[in-house]
């Protein structure tokens, strides 16, 4: 009887190989590490006194270092017990609780067709690779070089180029004898009853082959070379081979990296193809990516089959937070003992490619080292808005947390989450009671109480997050990146130095001030120290005390550089001699432009993603609607780039001084 590869994969994935082998051997207690799914025993295939038989659930394989035998679930049963392959499959299927497939001539025919379609996809991959090396692929090669990709990396990921011609791939495959039905079934052409003549789906795009878990090409992602392309990234449509919600880009390679001698501890999920490839080139080979959409439950389950606690990596801005919180809701019902998630948040405006391009893998490793557990993300989400200054609001928070935790299906994990919430709430409310050092100016009202109840005495007792509980706040002081520029942009310098010289602005602007995520690494570290100094000093804070504390933390050189930069630009509004109201007004204008520019950037990225999704589903009305919205955003971006932010008579455009300076002093 012939079994489909999908059926065999499913029962292998459902039954740990240790469950099959463990019925025939006794695990060695000293060498076995159950939490890592790593087992050792005396080999059942040859007599020995010391355990050299190794079994790993993560790999789904066994190997004896004494006699050299190795294999999977079925090989173990056929070799050790003499079962036939069908009998071995039957036994594992019974353990998985899955019925054996009935003989199905149609299913067998579909399996043969799938194999044929994979052959066609392989031919298309080779065609795209060859085209990248032609004259028509010159721009694509230049783009990949500009992104810092080496020839070896390009070859490893089999990157290619789809020519501009409407029929280049179709004609090539037809010349090789591939019938049009197979070309259409692979999703390589756009066709349908309303299309008289089919044409290539991918044109003038850099091509990224997408592999199945068995390392067969099943789809493509294409990055447009033309700036005015309808969708920046375009994936293959759903086919017999490809179901987007069930596939992770680079999964097979990342899983193999984890199985190596120096394998990584976990999988890392990042946003896109180029993030994965840039991390690989920097030596981080265990990264995967969803295919242009939010993470799905099937993709999450796929990661959990490989590692108990994968890390999800998101941008640190508002869109990244929302994506992280969606992942929280997706994961909570399915967590189990030893099965959870961690969340690594990138600095606002940075992606993994940015982090590793200049300084190698270390900045990204630091991001991973600060990854937060799922329980903390639940707490952050529900408390980040703050404003728990009444019994009713605190009761509302408690009820909301209870509701969130109750979706956890596993009774034991749910009980521990409930206890974790009780501990956090106790310390949180203890720290935010009147008379405990809380002040409305710097810590009260919204942000202060939403920070875990921190007061002048330091961190609250118990397992509560630090006072800077929100994602963006943590990033603002993390200093994870060494900044792409030696000197901050003028606008960032204005934002930072105005607060240093006029800390009284914090009384009315604390929420927005604390939430700023600077791109410059030095300012990230400065901001971390500043926010800590604010929390420690409370009402005694003054410019002199603040500068003294910042200099004590090693920021003296940066402060002097900022001051010189501001004075060279004659932006006296940000210096200590500016009147308080002038400083406040200038700061608000600079902050408004800063926030608007960031919001437009994220809005544009989200619209581009919507266009790609609508294009894949051939939703013409939606495409036109989103393109119209994108044009409006792009026009607004252009206006922003050409607009002068008037700060006490001085123009600042894109971080540079515009026009003559005639300010205070």
Count CB-CB contacts under 10 A for residue 196.
7
In this structure, are strands 287-288 and 268-269 parallel, antiparallel, or unpaired?
parallel
Find the angle CA(212)-CA(216)-CA(218) to the nearest 5 degrees.
65
Name residue, tokens 């044109």.
203
Lowest-pLDDT choice from 65-74, 438-447, 593-602: 438-447
Q: Which domains does the chain carry?
A: 5-96 (3.90.580.10), 299-482 (no CATH), 483-657 (1.10.860)
Strand partners, 222: 207, 234
What integer is the mean pLDDT of 311-337?
A: 90
Q: Which two tokens stand for residue 121?
A: 């996809």
DSSP letter (8 states) at residue 419: H
Check residue 595 and report its DSSP letter.
Answer: H
In sequence order, what DSSP letters do the residues of 119-132 get, joined into one string?
A: HHHHHHHHHHHHHH
* pLDDT recorded at residue 516: 81
> What is the per-residue pLDDT across 143-188, written as a single tens digit (0 to 9) for each?
999 999 999 999 999 999 999 999 999 999 999 999 999 999 999 9
Residues β-bridged to residue 288? 269
The phi, psi pair for 543, rounded to 5°, reads -60, -45
Instruction: Write out the two tokens for 228.
Output: 């005015």
Residue-wise pLDDT tens digits, 3-15: 877 788 889 888 9
Q: What is the mean pLDDT of residues 67-73?
A: 89
- Category of 472 on φ-ψ map: left (φ > 0), alpha (ψ -120 to 50) or beta: alpha
Decide if 461 contacts 525 (C-beta within 8 A).
no
Tokens of 93: 């299927």
Query: Tokens standing for 173?
Result: 């495959």
Instruction: Write the pLDDT tens digit of every residue in 119-145.
Output: 999 999 999 999 999 999 999 999 999
Per-residue pLDDT, 374: 96
Tokens coding 91? 């036994």
% of the chain with per-residue pLDDT over 70: 83
Name the band, by pLDDT with cuts 50, 70 and 90, for residue 530: confident
Check if the beta carbon of residue 343 is closer than 8 Å to that of residue 369: no
Indicate if the pLDDT at residue 651 is higher than 50.
no
Find residue 55's DSSP bridge partners: 39, 62
Q: Which residues have C-beta within 8 Å of that of residue 427, sequence separation ≥ 6?
A: 452, 453, 460, 461, 462, 463, 464
- CA-CA-CA-CA torsion for 325, 474, 346, 553, nearest 10 degrees? 180
Q: Is 341 exposed, middle or buried (0-12, 13-18, 19+ CB in 10 A)?
A: buried
pLDDT score of 306 more than 60: yes
Q: Angle of helix 73-81 relative to helix 85-96, nearest 10 degrees?
A: 130
Lowest mean pLDDT among 135-144, 216-225, 521-530: 521-530
How far, in Å, CA of 156 to CA of 208, rounded?
Answer: 11
**For strand 311-315 and strand 268-269, is the pairing parallel, antiparallel, or unpaired?**
parallel
**Residue 407: its pLDDT value, please?**
95
- Is the pLDDT at 44 greater than 60, yes or no? yes
Round to whole Å and give the CA distance between 545 and 513.
Answer: 19
Q: How far apart are CA 492 and CA 505, in angstroms?
A: 16
Q: Which two tokens stand for residue 645?
A: 């932010």
Max mean pLDDT range (203-207, 296-300, 616-620): 203-207
404-435: pLDDT as tens digits: 999 999 999 999 999 999 999 988 887 555 44
- At 182 the pLDDT is 92
Predicted pLDDT at 402: 94
Share of the chain above pLDDT 90, in %: 38
Compute the average pLDDT of residues 363-371: 92
The pTM of the full predicted model, rounded to 2 decimals, is 0.57
Q: Parallel, antiparallel, or unpaired for β 287-288 and 311-315?
A: unpaired
**Which among 230, 58, 208, 205 has a CA at the least distance from the CA of 139?**
205
* DSSP 8-class letter at 99: P
Q: What residues form DSSP beta bridges with 345?
A: 314
Q: Given this model, what pLDDT does residue 414 score?
A: 94
Does 485 score more than 50 pLDDT? no
Binning pLDDT at 50, 70 and 90, where does residue 569 land?
confident
């Amino acid at each position: 009887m012939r079994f489909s590869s999908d059926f065999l994969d499913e029962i292998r994935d459902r039954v740990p190989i240790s469950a099959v082998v463990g019925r025939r051997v006794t695990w060695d207690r000293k060498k076995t590490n159950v939490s890592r799914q790593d087992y050792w025993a005396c080999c059942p295939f040859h007599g020995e006194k010391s355990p050299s038989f190794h079994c790993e659930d993560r790999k789904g394989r066994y190997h004896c270092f004494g006699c050299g035998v190795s294999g999977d679930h079925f090989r173990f049963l056929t070799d050790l017990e003499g079962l036939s392959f069908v009998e071995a499959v039957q036994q594992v299927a019974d353990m998985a609780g899955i019925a054996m497939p009935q003989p199905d001539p149609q299913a067998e025919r579909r399996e043969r067709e799938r194999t044929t379609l994979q052959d066609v996809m392989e031919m298309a991959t080779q065609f795209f690779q060859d085209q990248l090396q032609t004259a028509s692929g010159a721009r694509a090669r230049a783009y990949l070089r500009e992104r810092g990709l080496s020839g070896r990396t390009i070859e490893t990921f089999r990157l290619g180029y789809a020519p501009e011609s409407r029929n280049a791939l179709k004609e090539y495959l037809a010349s090789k004898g591939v019938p049009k039905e197979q070309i259409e079934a692979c999703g390589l052409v756009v066709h349908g009853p309303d299309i008289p003549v089919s044409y290539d789906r991918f044109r003038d795009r850099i091509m990224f082959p997408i592999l199945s878990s068995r390392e067969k090409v099943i789809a493509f992602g294409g990055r447009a070379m033309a700036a005015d392309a309808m969708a920046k990234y375009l994936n293959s449509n759903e086919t017999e081979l490809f179901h987007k919600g069930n596939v992770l880009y680079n999964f097979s390679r990342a899983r193999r990296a984890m199985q190596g001698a120096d394998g990584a501890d976990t999988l890392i999920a990042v946003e896109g193809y180029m993030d994965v490839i840039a991390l690989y080139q920097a030596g981080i080979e265990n990264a995967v990516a969803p295919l242009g959409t939010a993470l799905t439950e099937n993709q999450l389950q796929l990661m959990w089959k490989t590692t108990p606690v994968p890390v999800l990596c998101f941008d640190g801005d508002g869109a990244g937070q929302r994506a992280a919180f969606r992942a929280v809701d997706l994961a909570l019902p399915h967590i189990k003992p030893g099965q959870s998630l961690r969340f690594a948040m990138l600095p606002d405006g940075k992606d993994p490619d940015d982090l590793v391009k200049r300084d190698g893998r270390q900045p990204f490793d630091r991001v991973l080292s600060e990854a937060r557990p799922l329980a903390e993300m639940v707490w952050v989400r529900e408390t980040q808005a703050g404003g728990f200054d009444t019994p009713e609001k605190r009761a509302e928070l408690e009820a909301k947390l209870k509701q969130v935790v109750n979706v956890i299906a596993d009774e034991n994990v749910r009980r521990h989450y409930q206890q974790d919430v009780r501990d956090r709430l106790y310390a949180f409310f203890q720290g935010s009671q009147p008379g405990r050092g809380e002040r409305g100016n710097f810590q009260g009202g919204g942000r202060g109480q939403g920070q875990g109840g921190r007061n002048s005495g330091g961190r609250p007792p118990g397992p509560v997050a630090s006072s800077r509980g929100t994602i963006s706040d943590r990033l603002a002081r993390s200093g994870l990146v060494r900044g792409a520029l030696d000197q901050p942009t003028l606008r960032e310098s204005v934002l930072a130095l105005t607060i240093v010289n006029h800390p009284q602005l914090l009384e009315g602007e604390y929420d927005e001030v604390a939430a700023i995520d600077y791109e410059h690494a030095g300012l990230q570290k400065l901001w971390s120290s500043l926010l800590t100094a604010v929390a420690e000093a409370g009402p005694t804070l003054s410019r002199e005390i603040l500068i003294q504390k910042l200099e004590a933390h090693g920021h003296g050189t940066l402060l002097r550089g900022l001051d010189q930069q501001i004075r060279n630009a004659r932006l006296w509004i940000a210096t200590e001699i500016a009147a308080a109201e002038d400083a406040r007004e200038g700061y608000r204008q600079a902050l408004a432009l800063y926030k608007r520019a960031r919001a437009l950037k994220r809005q544009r990225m989200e619209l581009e993603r919507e266009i790609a999704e609508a294009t894949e589903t051939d939703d013409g009305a939606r495409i036109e609607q989103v393109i119209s919205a994108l044009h409006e955003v792009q026009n607004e971006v252009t206006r922003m780039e050409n607009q002068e932010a008037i700060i006490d008579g001085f123009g600042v455009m894109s971080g540079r001084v515009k026009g003559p300076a005639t300010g205070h002093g």
